Amino acid sequence: MAVQKPSIPKGTRDFGPVEMAGRNYIFDTVRSVFRKYGYAPIETPSMENLSTLLGKYGEEGDKLLFKILNSGDAFSKVDWNRAKTDEGINSNNLALQVCEKGLRYDLTVPFARFVVQHRNELTFPFKRYQIQPVWRADRPQKGRYREFYQCDVDVIGSRSQLYELELVQIVDDVFAALGVRIVLKINNRKVLSGLAEVSGHPDKLIDITVAIDKIDKIGLEAVKAELLERGLTEQAIQIIEPVLTLQGSNSEKIAAMRPILANSEVGMRGLDELEELFGFIAAASFKQEVEIDLSLARGLNYYTGAIFEVKAKDFQIGSICGGGRYDDLTGIFGLPDTSGVGISFGADRIYDVLSGLNLFPESTACSSDVLFANMDSQGVQYCLPIMTALRQAGCSVELYPDASKLRKQFEYAEKKGIRYLVIAGETEAQQQIINVKDLITGTQEVFQHNDLEALARKISTKS
Amino acid sequence: MAVQKPSIPKGTRDFGPVEMAGRNYIFDTVRSVFRKYGYAPIETPSMENLSTLLGKYGEEGDKLLFKILNSGDAFSKVDWNRAKTDEGINSNNLALQVCEKGLRYDLTVPFARFVVQHRNELTFPFKRYQIQPVWRADRPQKGRYREFYQCDVDVIGSRSQLYELELVQIVDDVFAALGVRIVLKINNRKVLSGLAEVSGHPDKLIDITVAIDKIDKIGLEAVKAELLERGLTEQAIQIIEPVLTLQGSNSEKIAAMRPILANSEVGMRGLDELEELFGFIAAASFKQEVEIDLSLARGLNYYTGAIFEVKAKDFQIGSICGGGRYDDLTGIFGLPDTSGVGISFGADRIYDVLSGLNLFPESTACSSDVLFANMDSQGVQYCLPIMTALRQAGCSVELYPDASKLRKQFEYAEKKGIRYLVIAGETEAQQQIINVKDLITGTQEVFQHNDLEALARKISTKS
């Protein structure tokens, strides 16, 4: 066979030991926080039936689904008449005739499908977290990949805003544990609906939210211009404008909104919800900033109540975590009136933040504690039980595979970031001792064969 | 939209909290052993270029690859003349015109691709482990899935059999940690090659190994019949037969093989390798049975030296772990003469063994330690900081979302296997106490608000 130049599909990545260590640090941190709040893990298949996925992410999302060719003789049952148009083959029609499955696009739709499919086995409110990759056939660019991990935490089957509080606490705990200073912004979709109502454009909720969501990026004047462009009247914009420039504490903002939304029932309910949530937040103690941001909209149309977004204070990268409440995610699968709330942590962006701010702890590097040099076969025989004892004591231990020049063995340890080198050949075996060299300080220490506990204590980075 | 009955593709599975807890227990155990031997994690993309995968698993394997339809207008560039035959459309040709990517079939080929692609960043011998799902378009049946996890551990870039020893130690440690009694069987591909040589059928290595591999299942006479059927002479079978019925210790088996393979250089090298490896094994201390099995072949043709297979002693399920040495896995990607050795743990089968033998520890169930009942809003306000303190002390804590009837809140705790229920409403808030009910014993205990450490000690299952 001809030699192939190895490569991977564009938009995908290999993760070496260093990236893995950083990523596992993030996953372990979020996981341990999720568990403290009683969330349990689930996993769903990488492939879902296309019927489960299609139509859930808008027209644009459907195009971004990776479809999997049916196995076996995929094209034998094609109805070519259906697949043909005057211009030639209709790719979309043909694709749907030969592909029944697709790779999951997010963790939310599979979660909704899971909840409905297993509703009789689950205890509600059902609290789950899910850390798995998702795939999108997006154009790859810096920070945007075709395969990336999502870490979602959701609870479904309750309307209680104590769960909104719980998610806010989780966000607070996770980023405190990671050492990242954040601002957590909160809004409520009902407030936005109310705003559309009182502006006289209840049908233009999407236009309004899309425009005002950009205020941080483009500024007030540009947002006003865009609202005009999207067909809002000057009068409507005058009603919306004060909302975009609200100042003050969270309760002051809510108070200021009440007269504006007084004529909208849904708007007032949104303000009540915000007030209740911030009441809970005041009763719990928070390590980080939590604030109302009435311009916060987020793209996803299934949110019906609280909306969350998290930004890092010391690093420019956009939102690193977000979510909200949805009242009818499971309806399409046959389970109506089941409200839930959830958030998703963006592992890739959080990785970039930790990396950019140098916040990864040193101990996440997963190099071994000690390398046993390979001096001679008597030395190896002597060292094998010692290595076993050290591993039992929790150390990570390697043996160099050949009795190569010591220089080469040193280099291996150095390149791999292994701090300690044990040198024990035939002579040391006879004397029942072990020489331990510290490659950072350059010092050397002798241990007795029967004093392995002291050796384990010295070399272990984990304890 | 019409309501859809939720389902998942055949051969795939959802994993709920209970299955996840069991699986994570397995993954955590193997991971912690891998790390003690200095293996570092990597991950590769779920999709590989089809050119990386095709031709690596035989013709049958190629058919079992899941192909991913190119995104965008996949069929617009098809050369229909190439895809057409007299009988109609050639599915295979058309599939390769519209699919450039496939889902990985195992972790070995992506590992070889990874090593070659990143050779300049890696330190050799490179020791990695990889725990990721793989996909095969196999006909689903009991115990065979289209998506399943593999846990592979390999070292590449050294011929030293100290690594064979290390893998044997890893197997020993993993199954000791899991509490599974095993037999680890070892053979050497060179011994099998030697056997084919001395039997006068050097070209029939595959036929011989496929046949003798079945001896445990079909017995000696049936193996002999199959060898005859596969074109071996009676004389050849007479030479092979004693090998299949060898008894005695490992060193006795090696000694008994020497005269049989005396005329085969490769065979004698195989015996030397086995002897060296069992010398290492004797110098290390083992918890479980390790034995030579000269009928062990395993299907994979890329093995060139040691071959490993692990079976559970107390549970019938076939091999739960296997692997071997390969001398030229990376050659196809342009890195020749790079020997490696590795093993793969079958997570699904190990799960079935642990489950069948009731070996999952109780603590793997990831239910919360305590549920705070929701008595009234004053109670919630009072409890929130207490819950925070308990979480900081490492406990997993839930709050019931509504002030429902206590009966309903009890049921939630019981269904979720939460042992302790805190009952603290307005009255307890005034008295600064907390009532803790043990749902197993039915007893109730009162804690002072300022004695949360004692409470944390009582309810925590983790400490």
* A177 part of contact set with chain B, CB < 8 Å: no
> Residue B147: which of B102, B104, B101, B83 has the closest Cα?
B104
The answer to whether residues B425 and B378 touch, using CB atoms and an 8 Å cutoff, is yes
* B21 part of contact set with chain A, CB < 8 Å: yes
Please report, to the nearest 10 degrees, the dihedral formed by the alpha carbons of residues A222, A226, A228, A232 taken in order. Answer: -130
**What gap in Å lies between CA B360 and CA B353, rounded to an integer?**
10
The answer to whether residues A371 and A183 touch, using CB atoms and an 8 Å cutoff, is no
Q: Residue length, chain B?
A: 463
> Residue A113: which of B11, A346, A99, A122 has the closest Cα?
A122
Question: Which two three-digit tokens encode residue A265?
Answer: 């029932």
Q: What pLDDT is stored for residue B314 in this prediction?
A: 96
Question: Which two three-digit tokens encode residue A368?
Answer: 């071994």
Nearest-CB residue to B116 (from A6, A388, A402): A6
Alpha-carbon distances of B377 from A83, B141, B402, rounded to whole Å: 61, 53, 9
- If asked whether residues B197 and B287 sit together in one domain, one would say yes
The answer to whether residues A240 and A227 touch, using CB atoms and an 8 Å cutoff, is yes
The single residue listed with the structure tokens 């306000």 is: B381
* B264 part of contact set with chain A, CB < 8 Å: no
* B246 part of contact set with chain A, CB < 8 Å: no
How many Å separate Cα B58 from the centre of its chain?
A: 22
Q: Which residues of chain A have a CB within 8 Å of the CB of B128?
A: 17
* B9 part of contact set with chain A, CB < 8 Å: yes
**For helices A234-244 and A220-229, angle between their N-to-C axes, nearest 10 degrees:** 150
Nearest CA in chain A to B2: A332
- If asked whether residues B372 and B343 sit together in one domain, one would say no
> Residue B178: which of B366, B309, B41, B347 has the closest Cα?
B347
Nearest CA in chain A to B22: A41
- If asked whether residues B378 and B405 sit together in one domain, one would say yes
- If asked whether residues B375 and B292 sit together in one domain, one would say no
Establish if A80 belongs to a structural domain.
no
* B69 part of contact set with chain A, CB < 8 Å: yes
> Residue B53: which of B96, B109, B136 has the closest Cα?
B109
Contact flag B43-A20 (C-beta cutoff 8 Å) = yes
Contact flag B166-A399 (C-beta cutoff 8 Å) = yes
Establish if A64 belongs to a structural domain.
no
Question: Which two three-digit tokens encode residue B201?
Answer: 């059928």
Contact flag B160-A402 (C-beta cutoff 8 Å) = yes
On the CB side of B295, CA atoms within 13 Å amount to: 20
On the CB side of B460, CA atoms within 13 Å amount to: 17
Is the four-CA dihedral A143, A147, A150, A156 of positive or negative sign?
A: positive
SS3 B409: helix
Name the pairing type of β-strands B40-41 and A397-399.
unpaired
**What gap in Å lies between CA A268 and CA A266, rounded to an integer?**
5
Domain span at residue A448 reads 367-460
Nearest-CB residue to A16 (from B89, B118, B412): B118
Q: Is the pTM of this model over 0.90?
A: yes
Establish if B55 belongs to a structural domain.
no
Per-residue pLDDT of chain B (463 residues; tens, 9 = 90+): 567 789 999 999 999 999 999 999 999 999 999 999 999 999 999 999 999 999 888 888 899 999 999 998 899 889 998 988 888 888 899 999 999 999 999 999 999 999 999 999 999 999 999 999 999 999 988 878 999 999 999 999 999 999 999 999 999 999 999 999 999 999 999 999 999 999 999 999 888 988 988 888 899 999 999 999 999 999 999 999 988 888 899 999 999 999 999 999 999 999 999 999 999 999 888 889 999 999 898 766 789 999 999 999 999 988 999 999 999 999 989 999 999 999 999 999 999 999 999 999 876 566 899 999 999 999 999 999 999 999 999 999 999 999 999 999 999 999 999 999 999 999 999 999 999 999 999 999 999 988 888 999 988 865 4
Per-residue pLDDT of chain A (463 residues; tens, 9 = 90+): 567 789 999 999 999 999 999 999 999 999 999 999 999 999 999 999 999 999 888 888 899 999 999 998 899 889 998 988 887 888 899 999 999 999 999 999 999 999 999 999 999 999 999 999 999 999 988 888 999 999 999 999 999 999 999 999 999 999 999 999 999 999 999 999 999 999 999 999 888 988 988 888 899 999 999 999 999 999 999 999 988 888 899 999 999 999 999 999 999 999 999 999 999 999 888 888 999 999 898 766 789 999 999 999 999 988 999 999 999 989 989 999 999 999 999 999 999 999 999 999 876 566 899 999 999 999 999 999 999 999 999 999 999 999 999 999 999 999 999 999 999 999 999 999 999 999 999 999 999 988 888 999 988 865 4
Q: What pLDDT is stored for residue A463 in this prediction?
A: 42
Establish if B59 belongs to a structural domain.
no
Establish if B125 belongs to a structural domain.
yes
Q: How many CB atoms lie within 10 A of CB B272?
A: 14
Contact flag B332-A4 (C-beta cutoff 8 Å) = yes
Nearest-CB residue to B20 (from A16, A43, A384): A43
- End-to-end CA distance of chain A, in Å? 50
Phi-psi region of A303 (alpha: psi -120 to 50; beta: other; left: phi over 0): beta
The single residue listed with the structure tokens 């969350």 is: A308
- If asked whether residues B253 and B146 sit together in one domain, one would say yes
Max distance between CA atoms of chain A, in angstroms, equals 94
| Window B:103-132, CB contacts with A under 8 Å | 103, 113-114, 116-118, 121-123, 125, 127-128
* Contacts by B113-117, CB closer than 8 A, 24 or more apart: B113/A6, B113/A8, B113/B44, B113/B48, B113/B52, B113/B333, B114/A6, B114/A14, B114/B42, B114/B44, B115/B156, B115/B330, B115/B335, B115/B338, B116/A6, B116/B330, B116/B333, B116/B334, B116/B335, B117/A6, B117/A7, B117/A8, B117/A14, B117/B333
**What gap in Å lies between CA B359 and CA B357, rounded to an integer?**
5
Nearest-CB residue to B4 (from A42, A75, A332): A332
- If asked whether residues A333 and A397 sit together in one domain, one would say no
The answer to whether residues A118 and B14 touch, using CB atoms and an 8 Å cutoff, is yes
Nearest-CB residue to A17 (from B40, B48, B416): B40
- Cβ density class A289-323: b for 16+ within 10 Å, e for less: ebebbbbbbbebebbbbbbbbbbbeebeeebbbbb
> Residue A324: which of A274, A367, A282, A393 has the closest Cα?
A274
* B135 part of contact set with chain A, CB < 8 Å: yes
| Final residue belonging to a domain, choices B315, B332, B356 | B356
Contact flag A8-B103 (C-beta cutoff 8 Å) = no
Q: What pLDDT is stored for residue B463 in this prediction?
A: 42
**What gap in Å lies between CA B65 and CA B52, rounded to an integer?**
12
ipTM: 0.92
- If asked whether residues A108 and A170 sit together in one domain, one would say yes
Q: Domain total for chain B?
A: 2
Tell me the sheet residues that pair with B399. Answer: B372
* B395 part of contact set with chain A, CB < 8 Å: yes
Nearest-CB residue to B4 (from A38, A51, A173): A51
- If asked whether residues A291 and A384 sit together in one domain, one would say no
Is the omega angle on the peptide bond into residue B125 within 30 degrees of 0, that is, cis? yes
- Using one digit for the tens of pLDDT, what is the confidence trace for A123-181? 999 999 999 999 999 998 888 899 999 999 999 999 999 999 999 999 999 999 999 99
* A303 part of contact set with chain B, CB < 8 Å: no
Distance from CA of A342 to the nearest CA of B (A): 15
Contact flag A37-B398 (C-beta cutoff 8 Å) = yes
- If asked whether residues A325 and A304 sit together in one domain, one would say yes
Establish if A126 belongs to a structural domain.
yes
| Final residue belonging to a domain, choices B356, B385, B400 | B356
Nearest-CB residue to A163 (from B173, B283, B401): B401
- If asked whether residues B314 and B373 sit together in one domain, one would say no
> Residue A45: which of B141, B135, B100 has the closest Cα?
B135
| Final residue belonging to a domain, choices B356, B377, B406 | B356
B-interface mutation test, from A66, A81, A381, most B Cβ less than 10 A away? A66
Contact flag A284-B385 (C-beta cutoff 8 Å) = yes
Distance from CA of B8 to the nearest CA of A (A): 6
Q: How many CB atoms lie within 10 A of CB A7?
A: 13
Contact flag A8-B45 (C-beta cutoff 8 Å) = yes
- DSSP string covering B172-223, please? HHHHHHHT--EEEEEEEHHHHHHHHHHTT-GGGHHHHHHHHTTHHHH-HHHH
Distance from CA of A156 to the nearest CA of B (A): 11
- If asked whether residues A318 and A372 sit together in one domain, one would say no
Q: Where are the alpha helices (DSSP H) in B342-376?
A: 347-356
- End-to-end CA distance of chain B, in Å? 50
Nearest-CB residue to B137 (from A71, A78, A114): A71
- If asked whether residues B322 and B437 sit together in one domain, one would say no
Establish if A448 belongs to a structural domain.
yes
Q: Provide the CATH number for the domain around residue B160.
A: 3.30.930.10
Q: Provide the CATH number for the domain around residue A416.
A: 3.40.50.800
Name the pairing type of β-strands A126-135 and A147-156.
antiparallel
* A406 part of contact set with chain B, CB < 8 Å: no
Q: What pLDDT is stored for residue B295 in this prediction?
A: 87
Nearest-CB residue to B94 (from A3, A75, A133): A75
Contact flag A73-B52 (C-beta cutoff 8 Å) = no
Please report, to the nearest 10 degrees, the dihedral formed by the alpha carbons of residues A124, A129, A132, A133 taken in order. Answer: 90
- Using one digit for the tens of pLDDT, what is the confidence trace for B195-228? 999 999 999 988 898 898 888 889 999 999 999 9
Nearest CA in chain A to B415: A123
The answer to whether residues B149 and B22 touch, using CB atoms and an 8 Å cutoff, is no
Q: Which residues of chain B have a CB within 8 Å of the CB of A347?
A: none
* B222 part of contact set with chain A, CB < 8 Å: no
* B398 part of contact set with chain A, CB < 8 Å: yes
Q: Which residues of chain A have a CB within 8 Å of the CB of B13?
A: 45
Tell me the sheet residues that pair with B434. Answer: B447
Q: Is A206 exposed, middle or buried (0-12, 13-18, 19+ CB in 10 A)?
A: middle
Contact flag A113-B8 (C-beta cutoff 8 Å) = yes
Distance from CA of B354 to the nearest CA of A (A): 20
> Residue B192: which of B208, B203, B171 has the closest Cα?
B208
Max distance between CA atoms of chain B, in angstroms, equals 94
Distance from CA of B39 to the nearest CA of A (A): 8
Establish if B447 belongs to a structural domain.
yes
Contact flag A6-B284 (C-beta cutoff 8 Å) = no
